[in-house]
């Protein structure tokens, strides 16, 4: 816990780091709250509808931070496929 007397000894860099850390924690709390709401909504909707309509919580709603992680995963997959193709071309130069 940060005490008010310690703040007076902070350098500008430490103040900036504390501010960044605070906003990151608040962002994670906000995400957790939305995830919890979606999870509860999923089970309420699933209990009232058939098995075919809602299969997972992301079928109800997708959040912006999920799109960002999906883009990173897709970029990693593309890089892996490209590296595998290069390696295959080196092993089998007359086939590709």
Q: Which helix or strand (DSSP H or E) is residue 62 part of?
A: none
- Sign of torsion, CA 40 41 44 47? negative
pLDDT of residue 95: 64
pLDDT of residue 96: 54
pLDDT of residue 66: 82
pTM here is: 0.57
Question: 32: which 2 tokens?
Answer: 């957790």
pLDDT of residue 60: 84
pLDDT of residue 93: 75
Kindly give the parts of the chain with pLDDT less than 50. Answer: none
pLDDT of residue 91: 78
Query: What does the domain layout of the chain look like in residue ranges?
Result: 1-60, 62-96
């Amino acid at each position: 816990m940060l005490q008010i007397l310690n703040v007076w000894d902070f350098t500008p860099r430490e103040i900036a780091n504390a501010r960044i850390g605070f906003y990151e924690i608040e962002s994670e709390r906000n995400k957790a709250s939305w995830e919890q709401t979606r999870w509860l909504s999923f089970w309420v909707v699933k209990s009232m509808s058939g098995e075919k309509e809602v299969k997972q919580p992301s079928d109800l709603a997708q959040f912006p931070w999920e799109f960002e992680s999906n883009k990173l995963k897709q970029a990693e997959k593309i890089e892996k496929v490209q590296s595998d193709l290069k390696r295959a071309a080196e092993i089998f130069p007359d086939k590709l």
